[in-house]
Amino acid sequence: MEIRRMLFIVPIIITFILVSLSMKADADEFESLKRCCIEKLNAGNHQEGLPCCEKAIAKAPEKDAELFRYMGGGLRLAKKYKEAIRWYDDAIKLEPGNGDLYALRGITKFTDEKGKGAGDITKAVELNPNSFSVNIAAALFYTNMHDIEKAFSFSKKALDLAKTPSEEMNAGRLYEKSFALSADKKQSSPQKIVKDVKTLLTKMFELARTGKNQKLAEYILYMGKDQARRGKNVVNYANADDKIQTDSVARIIKGYLDQYPSHEFTEFMVQIKDDGEWYAWEVTFKKDGKTEKAIFGFLKLKDRYLLGDID
């Protein structure tokens, strides 16, 4: 009787073990394919990433919004925008509250047909206003739409939300680009900064050229040894050390102006550092076919721009 029972139970146990092993093998293969999909596409390799995604989706135990998202991203890299949008549609059906998905679909719609995607970008911001990827997508969208104010606002927020050097670099590029948008929108705040810093630097050139160093000091950032003041205050010309810094700046500027009879403002730059927002003009000095470039960097302190670096 005991032997008969064993003969009945053993095959069941063996079958269970085989099924379990098969299920584990399938699960392992799925995870491997999903990992391949994500890693390849994160590296920008859609040629190898997309086949992994397709196989992973086929092996998935249930519909996977993350895989649908990566499938859309891979097709976007392959410039198959309409197919990508359909995968984002499927991902959004699974996760309708995910703003990142709306942002990706919005950017893809815009890439496929300029002007499209605004509704998705608006929805993304509404759902996830403090998401880096949503804000960087919105900044990219409005930069390409030449909407200076919105591009500037979203790129600035993306910079504030950035957590990695790569995120800071991408957001910084969009932040800088917002300053270079069409010149016919001169009343926008970024364009005003460009003009204000140029006007200030022109004024400083004249003060240095005419030897009015005490007046020049009003526009120079203290960069001396006093750590309590360094990068936080304007120089005080009545202070001996501050006077030395001011006179040094004046000599450098006057040296360029004396050596080169003409100059032009060739490039405006923006950089976000730990101590705040830096705005810089690259100036090209010219004489008889010879040129020399210098970069004059200003730190914004409250409502003022102070010269803190000449490179």
- Looking at the structure, tell me whether residues 197 and 120 fall in a common domain: no
Q: Looking at the structure, tell me whether residues 197 and 171 fall in a common domain.
A: no
pLDDT for 147-196, tens place per residue?
Answer: 778 888 898 899 889 888 888 888 888 877 776 654 445 444 566 788 89
**Domains identified in the chain, total number:** 2
160 with 281, same domain: the answer is no
176 and 197 together in one domain: no
Q: What is the pLDDT of residues 101-117, one digit of tens each?
A: 999 999 999 888 877 88
**pLDDT of residue 42 exceeding 80:** yes
Which of 180, 214, 249 is the endpoint of a domain? 180
Are 122 and 144 contained in the same domain? yes
User: For residues 242 and 222, what is the distance between their CA atoms, to the nearest angstrom?
Assistant: 7
Q: Which of these three, 149, 180, 211, is where a domain ends?
A: 180
The Cα–Cα gap between 41 and 78 comes to 11
Nearest-5° angle of CA 202, CA 234, CA 206?
20
171 and 73 in a common domain: yes
Contacts of residue 3, Cβ cutoff 8 Å, sequence gap at least 6? none
| Same domain? 30 vs 149 | yes
User: Do 234 and 147 reside in the same domain of the chain?
Assistant: no
In this prediction the pTM is 0.56
Note down the domain range covering 24: 2-180
The torsion defined by the Cα of 87, 90, 91 and 92, in degrees rounded to 10, comes to: 120
CA distance 53 to 113: 26
- CATH number for 254: 3.10.450
Beta strands 276-287 and 290-301, pairing class: antiparallel
Tell whether 171 and 302 lie within a shared domain: no
Q: Is the pLDDT of residue 14 over 80?
A: no
End-to-end CA distance of the chain: 95
Q: Verify that 174 and 33 share a domain, yes or no.
A: yes
* Co-location of 207 and 169 in the same domain: no
Residue 122 sits in the same domain as residue 231: no
